Chains A and B, each alone.
Chain A
Amino acid sequence: MEKLTIKRIDPYRIRIEKTPPMRTTGLVYVNSALEKTLEHDMVLNQVANVACLPGIVGPSLAMPDIHWGYGFPIGGVAAFSLDEGVISPGGVGYDINCGVSCVLTSFTRDEVSSRINELLATLFGRIPSGVGSTNKDVRLSDKEFLKVLLKGASWATKSGYGSPGDLDAYEDRGSIAGANPDAVSKRALERGLPQLGTLGSGNHFLELDVVDFIADEERARKFGLFQGQIVILLHTGSRGLGHQICDDHVHEMLKAMPSHGIELPDRQLACAPVTSREGQAYLQAMAAAANFAFANRQIIIHLIRGSFEKTFGKSWDRLGMRLLYDCCHNIAKIEQISWKGSQRKVCVHRKGATRALPPGDVRLPERFTATGGPVLVPGDMGRMSFILAGSQWAEETFFSACHGAGRILSRRQAKKISRKRSIADELRRQEIHAVAASRSTLAEEIPEAYKDVSAVVNTITGAGIATAVARLRPVAMIKG
């Protein structure tokens, strides 16, 4: 591809001009400070590569937490026509439906601070975490496991993990339609079965935060948030099941691409027409992995509630542990968008991006109709996180917003600069308690490895895509 031509449109957006073989422009949400973080890698080329894919509708988009991925960038959003467009497993990523849950509590920080170590130890003891973690307490027959893939979070609530009311707080009620276990390989099932109910490793985490600033009193009240409140963020996905499904279907699409006449600048963009046999098979398998991820998070939410019950001696509902929201970060969905004055259905890929629905959207649970859908934006483990709400202007991103801070350092760079430092001690001096399944995870996840999430949020709110509701500060965490 020729050298990219980049133009700043306004303080929050830059455009990548359409250059052959791009079929459309690129639109990246970054302010000038965040733009400097893009210079280190090939990330804008990845936005441009996505713009080369057949049937793309509108620009190839990227959120302000964008960083270098493989194939699609992390933070990339792209919509494709159902008639002429494609679906790409690389546009979803290996960790299908990696996502975030936010569980509320009725506690203030002062009420938990004297028990925090005990609580953290209980959580760490009950929630399997770390490389290759498995959950021996969730033993399912093959037949029962297929129900997980078909039903998602509702399988979990029916099986005693949480309550049916939790489903009202899930994106798509915790189940993606169209899942077909026949499209899932035996190897994917083998990888996934023992890992249901586990956190995993890397950037997956469980975190207690305190609400330290309310930006929008009315929305915060409707979300159930208040100043000084302890809330819990959970970040995990479909574990080995999703990884294997992505592997399997990238390979199938690479085989089929010549017959569909598709040529790509990077094999990791492997794709097939949405309507093709390969495209449909991937959508069915992806939905199965997404449902696994919903069930996985619901089981962990149940384990979190149990840990609080043990520590504080009251039932979770008396402790106010309602699920605020659970959303996907890595997903492709057939969605209705407004484009050039008309409504049309497209396949929206979000790879490291959150759906951000505006007030009044019929897809929202009733409790969020007036506020817009919650957008959960976890930051790094030393600074802050945010809860936002989708706005009407999110139409221009196909109702998508940022999903986190976005890495700026590789894991190796992070480990190098944290050598001879005790990250746990540094956090403790800030009154943040951290435990990790491995010491290297804390080093890899140091705050300096990430962009300043407030700059990311300022960009997305400044562009009008979402509106700020509350800011959170970390109190305690488990890193996988």
Chain B
Amino acid sequence: MESLRPARENGTKMPYTLIDHTADIGIRVRARNIQNLYEEAGYAMVDILGASLQPGAEQIEMRIDGLDRIDLLVRWLQEILYFIGVKGFRVSDIQVTALTETNLSAVLTGGTAKTPLATEIKAVTYHDLTIREIDNQVETIIILDT
């Protein structure tokens, strides 16, 4: 069973899909290219956490290393989760500024807020994580441990 979450109001971002997983939350994210996929996956997680902020002025520059693009995706989302869960950062914009198979640079824009989160995500898992091309788009399915 799946359900589609709407795209954000500016209409430039892709919607994502929630997938049922007995213990956890699964998300299917699509984007027009791999760089956008990392951004869209970040937005999807921010949405599930209830960690959006409009607008924000603070910026966090991030540099992530991974073993390959799947590991890079997990570590990227773990890093966003850390800033939201531990540092209290709330996100208005995510921009991946540079990307290779094993490195990512990005800027998170937003601000620190004391608003409670909607859900606790313990971790971003590697479980059956794939990134594939489909219908001229790039798609990933990620299981979040909640």
Q: How far is the CA of A250 from the CA of B117 in the complex (A)?
A: 26
A409-453 contacts to B, CB under 8 A, are 409-413, 438, 440
B24: chain A residues at CB < 8 Å are 70, 410
Please, which residues of chain B bring their CB within 8 A of the CB of A243? 122-123, 145
B67 at the interface (CB under 8 A from A): yes
Chain A residues within 8 Å of B129, by CB: 267
Interface residues on A, range: 35 or more
User: Interface on chain B toward A: helix, strand, loop, or mixed SS?
Assistant: loop
| Contact A254/B71 with A69-B23, A411-B146 known, Cβ cut-off 8 Å | yes
* B4-22, CB < 8 A from A: 18, 20-22
Q: Does A408 contact B (CB under 8 A)?
A: yes
Per-residue B-contact encoding for A212-251, CB less than 8 Å = 1, 0 else: 0000000000000000000000000000100100110011
Chain A residues whose C-beta falls within 8 Å of the C-beta of B86 in the assembled complex = 187, 190-191, 240
Q: Is the CB of B18 within 8 A of A412?
A: yes
B69 → A minimal CB distance (Å): 13
Interface size bucket, B side?
20 to 34
CA A130 – CA B70 in complex, angstroms?
31
Which of A187, A246, A412 has the most CB atoms of chain B within a 10 A radius of its CB? A412
Please tell me if the beta carbons of A250 and B126 are within 8 angstroms of each other in the complex: yes
Total number of A-B contacts with CB less than 8 angstroms?
97
Give the chain A neighbours of B23 by CB distance below 8 A. 67-70, 74, 407, 410
In the bound complex, residues from chain B placing their C-beta under 8 Å from that of A270 are 126
Residue A71 at the B interface, CB < 8 A?
yes
* Nearest CB in chain A to that of B71: its residue: A254
A70's partner among B20, B85, B143 (CB-CB below 8 A) is: B143
Q: Does A76 contact B (CB under 8 A)?
A: no
Is A410 in contact with B120, judged by CB distance below 8 angstroms?
no
Best-surrounded residue of A74, A130, A191, A411 (most CB of chain B within 10 A): A411
A267 and B120 contact, CB distance less than 8 A? no
Asked, given contacts A251-B75, A407-B22, A413-B1, whether A131 binds B126 with beta carbons under 8 Å apart, the answer is no
The reply to whether A411 and B120 contact each other, CB–CB distance below 8 Å, is: no
B96-146, CB < 8 A from A? 116-120, 122-123, 125-129, 143, 145-146
Question: Please, which residues of chain A bring their CB within 8 A of the CB of B119?
Answer: 131, 201, 440
Asked if B123 contacts A247 (CB within 8 A), the reply is: yes
Q: Tell me the bound Cα distance from A480 to B15 in angstroms.
A: 30
- The verdict on A95 contacting chain B, using a C-beta distance below 8 Å, is yes
The 7 closest A-B pairs by CB, nearest first: A70-B127, A267-B126, A410-B20, A268-B127, A68-B22, A70-B125, A131-B120
Known: A202-B146, A243-B122, A410-B25. 17 other contacts (CB 8 A): A41-B22, A70-B23, A70-B126, A70-B143, A94-B122, A131-B117, A187-B82, A202-B120, A240-B86, A247-B123, A254-B67, A266-B126, A408-B22, A410-B20, A410-B23, A410-B24, A412-B1
